[in-house]
Structure 1
Amino acid sequence: MLDAWGEANFVAAVGLFGGVLLGLAARLGRFCTLGAIEDFLYGGSDLRLRMWALAIGSAVVGSFGLMAFGLFDPGNSFYIAQQWSPVASIVGGGLFGYGMALAGSCGYGAIARLGGGDLRSFVIVLVMGISAYVTLSGPLAWIRVALFPPTPTAQVPAGIAHTIGDMSGLPVSGIGILLGALLIVLALKANTLRSDRSAMFWAVAVGLAATSAWAGMQYVSDDRPK
């Protein structure tokens, strides 16, 4: 397929597929991080928080399902190739959450609103992009590295399922699928989500978008000459 499409076009198609699903989930399914938190804290509704749990559970089941069939190796992913830093997660998450509250939108929601013509969201997305670049590889990157030096993992990838698998000897893919299934059960435990089929559909669509991205990138990686 890559010979016919070309690697760049195939990667773009994978991104387009996932992006369309995520965009529709935001616009039609009202899938939003900040919105879910606001609904729970101010409106007493946990529907969109449960949508998040269902989306994560679906993505976990899908990703480890790919792993079970040899279609995805999460050990090659940057996200679990580095040792987890609790301090960096707390500081980064706190900054992101505080900025999200001040801006009135998360990055995902801002991109979705930008697609609808919201110029305020354009400013949010632009500033977020520049700030991320400056921190990751720009002039402030050395501060991030000095405060939170990246440390490669020893032998076991820094994933929950991988850690449990290493300790128990059980297959990592099976553990991951089980953990994802538990999240799905937790999300569907309340009738608030079970009674809203549209919310369930769009939450699963978000999980499918994440799974399709992993599958597509693994396919490209496997097709490259070693």
Structure 2
Amino acid sequence: MDILPLVERIGEGPSAALFGLVTGMVFGIAAQRSSFCLRAACVEFARGQFGHRMAVWLLCFSTALVWVQGASLMGLMRVEDARMMAVTGSWSGAIVGGLLFGVGMVLARGCSGRLLVLAATGNLRSVVSGLIFAVVAIMALQGVLAPARNWIAGLWMTSGGRNVNLLDAAHLPRESGLVLGLVLALLALEIARRNRIGARVLVMASGVGFAVALGWVLTFALSEVAFDPVQIESATFTGPSANMLMFFLIPDPVLEFDIGLVPGVFLGAFLAAWIRKDLRLQGFEGAGPMGRSMIGAALMGFGGMLAGGCAIGAGVTGGSIFAGTAWLALTCMWLGAVIADLLVDQRGSRGVPAE
């Protein structure tokens, strides 16, 4: 992939932002058309169902594994150079943050990525929750919540100054990641067949996984030609949401991948909803649901920053490169969401549906 002419013409920062925009648009279109959401899949699982949402999430996750591991085998990216893999990870942060994020996404009726997609379609609940999520993420990164985050994260860290590559730790060949992705994809397709899910939805679900791989490949390609160091990263929404908000609040903001990603997702989801005539304003149904969503958004903001990523950042993007803390965070997100659904929604007067 020869991106040098582009970088020389517009510069490294604008190129990174452009790659974020492209990645975000692919993600936004695919996520809106497939109704991709980890929270909805967790709710189905908690209620003993393997339905539409489970099939969509599993297909997205599995295709991300296939695309990313395939790109690694082809030399289009190096997993060991990814930002998430090249820094010390926090086991304790993954556990506590993952649990908090899982509870939060059930209370908020969507993970952070889903809230951004819904906001683009006119869902005002998601706009409010998304802003709270971003503000709390900033507070956890460099504000009043930062000491608590640092203390929890420091309780149990990975050794050697790097995260753990699960494939290397298990002494498995590099091809095993691709094989696992293919096996999970077949399982997802079987669940989809039983639920009679159409091919269009399945293509869009796999498109979410493709967007994750696209981000990895584009930022890696930029790092190969850039003069200054470039972070190799892909789709995630905890850090980028905080960075996007700060972009408009600080003097001399810097263009980077994160700054293009969030508006790209919003624009892609908006266009997809506009074409399908799915745009409509929605608000809170009362004070109770509003308070619940705000608490959930706050839990996701702190939990996502503590866990090293959100349901997308840790759950799919980090999972696709087999980062140890990402897989642990994803497991704890599932556990937190299942517990929250069992204790809050299933014990209530009625279950809260997936959106």
For residue 34 of structure 2, give the secondary structure of its aligned residue in structure 1.
coil
Structure 2 residue corresponding to 1:63, chosen from 68, 76, 80: 68
Length, aligned pairs only? 221
Partner of 1:188: 189
Q: Assess if the C-alpha contact under 8 Å between 2:34 and 2:201 holds in 1.
A: yes
Identity of aligned residues (%): 28
Partner of 1:154: 160
Against the structure 1 CA distance between its residues 38 and 152, is the aligned structure 2 distance closer, same or farther, given a 3 Å change threshold?
closer
Q: Assess if the C-alpha contact under 8 Å between 2:65 and 2:181 holds in 1.
A: yes
C-alpha distance in 2, partners of 1:143/1:26? 33
Q: Assess if the C-alpha contact under 8 Å between 2:63 and 2:206 holds in 1.
A: yes
Partner of 1:37: 42
Deviation of residue 176 (structure 1)? Answer: 1.8
Structure 1 residue corresponding to 2:225, chosen from 201, 218, 223: 223
Deviation of residue 43 (structure 1)? Answer: 8.5
Deviation of residue 15 (structure 1)? Answer: 1.6
Against the structure 1 CA distance between its residues 82 and 155, is the aligned structure 2 distance closer, same or farther, given a 3 Å change threshold?
closer
The Cα offsets for residues 22-64 of structure 1, whole Å up to 9 and x where unpaired, read as: 2223322111222223344459342221221111111111112
CA RMSD after TM alignment: 2.5
Partner of 2:177: 176
Q: Assess if the C-alpha contact under 8 Å between 2:67 and 2:210 holds in 1.
A: yes
Deviation of residue 96 (structure 1)? Answer: 1.1
The Cα offsets for residues 164-214 of structure 1, whole Å up to 9 and x where unpaired, read as: 3xx25x3x2x12212222221221233236752122111110011000000
Aligned AA for 1:161? L
The Cα offsets for residues 80-113 of structure 1, whole Å up to 9 and x where unpaired, read as: 2345544322321221122222222221111111
Q: Which moved more, 1:124-133 or 1:193-202?
A: 193-202
Against the structure 1 CA distance between its residues 32 and 156, is the aligned structure 2 distance closer, same or farther, given a 3 Å change threshold?
closer
C-alpha distance in 2, partners of 1:3/1:153? 39
Q: Assess if the C-alpha contact under 8 Å between 2:70 and 2:178 holds in 1.
A: yes
C-alpha distance in 2, partners of 1:204/1:51? 8
Q: Extract unaligned runs of 5+ from structure 2.
A: 1-5, 229-355
Task: Give the TM-score, by structure 1 length.
Answer: 0.85
For residue 84 of structure 2, give the secondary structure of its aligned residue in structure 1.
helix
Q: How do residues 99-114 of structure 1 correspond to structure 2 at under 5 angstroms?
A: 99-114=104-119
Write 1 or 2 for the structure with the bigger share of helix.
1
Q: Assess if the C-alpha contact under 8 Å between 1:82 and 1:153 holds in 2.
A: no
C-alpha distance in 2, partners of 1:18/1:192? 31
C-alpha distance in 1, partners of 2:24/2:197? 27
